[in-house]
Structure 1
Amino acid sequence: MGQKHAVGGVSFRESVDHMVDHAIDIMGLDDGLREAMKACHSVLQVSFPVEIDGRAEMFTGWRATHSDHRLPVKGGIRYATQVDQDEVEALAALMTYKCAIVDVPFGGSKGGLMLDPKRYTRDQLEAITRRFARELIDKQYLSPAQNVPAPDMGTGPREMGWMVDTYRRLFPNDINYMGCVTGKPVEHGGVRGRNEATGRGVQYALREFFRNEEESDRAGLKGDLSGKRVIVQGLGNVGYHAAYFLSREDHALVTAVIESDGAVINEDGLDIDALSNHKLAHGGVEGFQGGIFEPDGSKVLELDCDILIPAALEGVITTDNAASIKANLIAEAANGPVTFEADAMLQARGVEIIPDAYCNAGGVIVSYFEWIRNLAHIRFGRLEKRFHEARGQHIISGIEMASGAQVPDWIRDELVRGADEFDLVRSGLDDSMRLAFREIMDKRRSNDAIKDYRMAAYVLAIEKIARSYRDIGY
C-alpha cells in the first residue's frame, strides 16, 4: 500500500526536517534553537533472542526520544518488517509536534520492532513482546513517569496489556503502574474510546474544516460532509473508524476503500461494516459483493472524489502520482502519506491537505486521557454522573410545572442521562480537535508567508516548544 521512502526523493525523516526548517525560517529563530529543535535527544537500539519453535531467533527494536521538554514522552510502538532507526526518529519528532499542536503535555517518542506479526502465534508474540518490554524497562524507556508507549501499526490493546503486566511484575510497588502504557484493554486500565480515537479524530477534524465556510470554499467544497465522496486507503483501525463514522454519522459516501490486495469501488457508497467483516474473514477485500474489485489499488488513489483519506503507510502519494490526484481535500490519517515533493506539487494545484501532525492526533489525545485516568485511579464520570442525572430531572420537573405540558420522552431521556466515560472522552477529543484546528487556521490567516495548513501547524507547534525551551533551557 505504500513505501517508506519516495523513490528518488527525500526520506520521511528528511521531509519532517524540511518542514521544521521552513517553519523556523518563517519564524526567524536562531540557529541554536533550530538545532535543538531538530535533534533527536536519544535513541535506544536493542537486540535480543527469543525461543521460537525450539530455536533462538534474534529480534531488533528501537525506541527514540525526540524531545523531553515535557514528561513523560509519548509515542506508539509498531511491529513491521520495514522498521528502522531513521523511521523511528522521524516519527518521534512528529509526535513532539503533534502533542504541541493539540496541547497534550507530552514530549515525543516512538518505538518499533522489526518483525512481521502475522508470522507468529499468539504465544510467540506474547513472549517476544514481554522480552521487548523488559529491554525497554531496563533501559528506562518505559515507565509511567518517563516514557509511555501506545499501540501503532501491528500492535494493539493485547500487546499493551502484555507490556503493562510485564512492568507490574518488575515494579509491584508502583501504584501508578497502569500508566506505563496506553491503549490497554478497558478491563486492564484502558479508557473507553481509545480504540476508535484516531479515526474519530479524523472525523472531528473534517467536521471542523467544513464548519468554517471560508476554508471549505478554498478547497472548492460546499456545504457539510453529507454526500461528499470519500476514498479511504487502508481499512485498519484508523481507516475503518474514520470511514465508519463519516458514513454512518455524517452521511458521507465512502466510494472506494483500498487495501493491500486491491480496492473495492461503489459510487453509491460502501457498507463499511460489511466490508470490514469480509476483510477479517477472507484476509482482504477481494470477493466483496458490495462493490467492484480493482486489483491495482494504487490507481484508485487517482479516482475522482471530494476527500482522500490515506490511512495506511507513509509515502503513498509521491511525485509519481501527485499530478493525477483528483481529490479537493486530503486528510492525512496516516503518518507522512504525502512526500515532501508531492506536497509542493499538490499545494501548487490548490489541493488542500489537513496534515498528519494534526489530523491523526486523536490517538495521543485520548492516550493522555487514559494516562490521567490511570494516575487518578478513578474512571471519568464516576463522581458526577448521578448528580447530573438528578439535576436533569429537576430541570424537567421545573419545565413541566411552569408550562403545564409534558416534556417529550426523547428530550427527557437526553436531559436526565448523566455523561459516562465514553461521552466524556468523546467530548474531550472533539474539543481538543476543534480548538487545535482553529489555532492552525488563525495561524495560517495571520501570516502571508504561511501558505498551507501543514506549515501553519508546524509554526504553531514550534512556537509552543520554543517557548518551553526558553523557559526551562535547552
Structure 2
Amino acid sequence: MNEPTTGLTFRQSVDHMVDRALAYMDLEPGIANAIKSCTSVLQVSFPVEIRGKVEVFTGWRAVHSIHRLPAKGGLRYSESVDQQEVEALAALMTYKCAIVDVPFGGSKGGLYINPENYSRTELKLITRRFARELASAGFLSPSTNVPAPDMGTGQREMAWIADTYKHLNPEDINALACVTGKPVAHGGVNGRTEATGRGVQYSLQEFFRHKEELRACGLEGELEGKRIIIQGLGNVGYHAAKFLSEEDGAKIIGIIVRDGAIVNEEGIHVEEAYYHRCSHGGLKGFAGGQFIEDGASVLEHECDILIPAAMESAITESNAPNIHTNLIAEAANGPITFEADRILRSRGITILPDAYVNAGGVVVSYFEWIRNLSHMRFGRIERRLDESRGRHILAALEHTSGEKVPDWISDNLSRGADELDLVRSGLDDSMRLALQEIIDVRKRMPEIEDYRTSAYIIALQKLARSYIDIGV
C-alpha cells in the first residue's frame, strides 16, 4: 500500500488510517467509500449583542454516519475549530462507537470562539442562540443528533442547550435526552464528568491483564510504579492522572499544559498540581516539580507510558523520532498524525488508539441517554433487593461458620449497587470487551502489527454489515 508521508490534514490523516485497515479487508470499494463519506455538514453564522455591540459567531455540526441513530458527538468551543476538524472528529466518533458497541452514528460540532473572553451571562446567550440554530436545522434532537461536552464546554453549556431545546419543543417528553453530559440534577448521570478519564484508566488496566501483549511492548508487572507522562490537565488528563496515581499506584512523573510542564521523577501529586493550575492559570511556580517552559519537549522525556490527553497532532513526524516510551495511550482525539504513527510503529512503540482509549465518554453518554429515555435513575428498582439478598448471604455464612463475618466483607455484601456503581461497571465492561476484541483480531490476523488497524477493522466490519443489511 502506498502511503503519503507529509502534509496531511487531520481529516486526511483519519481517512488514511482507515485506508490502512481497508487494505486488509475484502470490502467492496463502494461500501468503503460510503462508510468514509461525511453525510452532512451544517455551518451557521449568527449575531449576538455583546456589551452593546453585535458580534457574529460561526459554528459547525458535522454528521459522519446515520447508520445508527442518533448521531453522537461532542460540541467544542475553540478558536482552532473549522469544518475539516469537525468532519474528522465526526468520523472518529463513528468508528469509536462501533469499536465499543455503542449504537450511535458519529457527529461532532464546534463554535469558533475563545470562551475565556466572555462572561457566564454572555456565554449563555451565545450558547442558547447556537442551540436554536442547530435545532431549527435538524441538528439537535434526542432521536437524531445528540451533542455532549468537549473542549471548552461542560455541564453548564449542556444544561443551557437542553433547556433551550425543551422550550422549543415543549411537547417532547424526551427533551432532556437531546444532549448528554448534563448536571446530575438536570438529567445527567453520575460518573459522566470523569468518564473519559476513567475509560483511559480502564483501558490500561485491561491492557496490563494481557501479559503477552505487555511483554511485547517491553513492559511487565502491574500498573503500580509505572512512570507516566501526561499531556493535558483538563477534564480527561486530570481524571486519568488522578485515578492512575491514586488507585493503581502509577507514578506521574510529568504533566504538560499550555504554559509549560512540570517534571518530578519521584512522582507528582496530581490534585495539588491541578489546584495550582486552577488558582494560577498554569503550572509555573508549582513547588511539586521542576518547571520546564518548553512543555512540548517533555513529550520526548523517557517514560513507561505516555498519555497525550490534550489536542490533536501533538506528536508529528518532527518529534516522533525522539519519543522515548514503551506505550502510548491516546486519550485525546488524533494526538498522533498519520506520518508520526508510522514512525512510532517502525521504532517498536506500542500505541493504544484514540478510537478505543478515549471512548469512555461516549459509553457513559449512552448510559445517560438511556436514563433520560427511561425517565428512571439506574438502580432504583433493584438496589434494596440486592441489599436484602446480601444480608441473607451474610446470615447464611455466619450461621454455617459460627463466626461473625469481618466488617469489610459485610459492608460490601450488604450494599446494593447505586447509579455510580452501575455506570462504572458498565464502562469497565465496555472497555474490557473492546480491547479483548481488538487483541483477538490481531491474533487471528498476524499480518496486522498494530492495535489501531485492528480497531478500525472491527469498526469497518460492523459498519459494512449495517450498510449491507439495509441494502445500500
Pairwise TM-score range, normalised by the shorter structure: over 0.9
Moved more, 316-325 or 441-450: 441-450
Alignment of 1:309-348 (within 5 A): 309-348=307-346
Q: Secondary structure at the match of 2:230?
A: strand
Q: Does 1:146 align with 2:144?
A: yes
State yes or no: 1:256 paired with 2:254.
yes
Match of 2:92 in 1: 94
Aligned to 1:356: 354
| Alpha-carbon distance in structure 1 between the residues aligned to 2:34 and 2:20 | 15
How many residues are paired up?
469
Aligned equivalents of 1:7, 1:242: Cα separation in 2: 32
How far 1:473 moved relative to its partner? 2.9
**Once the two structures are superposed, what CA deviation does each residue of 1:10-59 show, in whole Å capped at 9, x if it has no partner?**
11100111011121221021111121011100000000000011011000
Q: Determine which of 223, 226, 242 is the counterpart of 1:225.
A: 223
Normalised TM-score (structure 2): 0.98
Partner of 2:38: 40
Counterpart CA distance in 1 for 2:5 and 2:162 is 39
Deviation larger for 103-112 or 27-36: 27-36
For the 8 Å contact 2:6–2:339, the answer to whether it is kept is no
Displacement of 1:105 in angstroms is 0.2
2:177 corresponds to 1:165: no
Q: Taking every aligned residue pair, what percent have the same amino acid on both sides?
A: 64
Root-mean-square deviation over aligned CA pairs: 1.0
Q: 2:25 is aligned with what amino acid? A: M
> Which residue of the partner structure matches residue 232 of structure 2?
234
Task: Find out whether 1:377 has 2:387 as its counterpart.
Answer: no
Q: Distance in 1 between matches of 2:40 and 2:301?
A: 42
Aligned-pair distance for 1:7? 11
Q: Separation in 2 of the partners of 1:333 and 1:158?
A: 23
| Structure 2: gaps spanning 5 or more residues | none
Q: 25, 28, 33: which is aligned to 1:27?
A: 25
Regions of 4+ moved over 2 Å: 6-9
Within a 5 Å distance, the mapping from 1:105-116 to structure 2 comes to 105-116=103-114
AA of the residue aligned to 1:191: V
Structure 2 residue corresponding to 1:468, chosen from 455, 460, 466: 466
Contact 2:330 2:353 in 1 (8 A): yes
- Write the distance in 1 (CA, Å) between the matches of 2:59 and 2:287: 41
Equivalence for 2:294: 296
Partner of 1:387: 385
CA distance in 2, matches of 1:277, 1:132: 32
- Confirm or deny: 8 A CA contact 2:5 2:339 kept in the other structure: no
Deviation at 1:102, TM superposition (A): 0.1
Q: Conserved in 1, the CA contact under 8 Å of 2:223 and 2:250? A: yes
Find the counterpart in structure 1 of residue 446 from structure 2: 448
Write the letter of the residue equivalent to 1:283: G
Instruction: Provide Cα deviations, 1:414-454, integer angstroms capped at 9, x if missing partner.
Output: 00000000000000000000000000000111113311000
Give distance in 1, aligned partners of 2:293 and 2:214.
33
2:305 to 273, 295, 307: 307
Checking the alignment, whether the CA contact within 8 Å between 2:258 and 2:282 is kept in structure 1 is: yes
C-alpha separation between the residues in 2 aligned to 1:428 and 1:50? 41
Q: Give the equivalent residue in structure 2 for 1:3.
A: none
Structure 1 match to 2:417:
419
Structure 1: any 5+ residue segments left out of the alignment?
1-5
Question: Structure 2: how far apart are the matches of 1:410 and 1:31?
Answer: 58
Q: Secondary structure at the match of 1:67?
A: coil
The equivalent residue for 1:197 is 195
Give the TM-score normalised by structure 1: 0.98
Shift of 1:8: 5.0
**Conserved 8 A contact 2:42-2:62:** yes
| Residues 378 and 419, structure 2, Cα contact 8 Å, conserved in 1 | yes
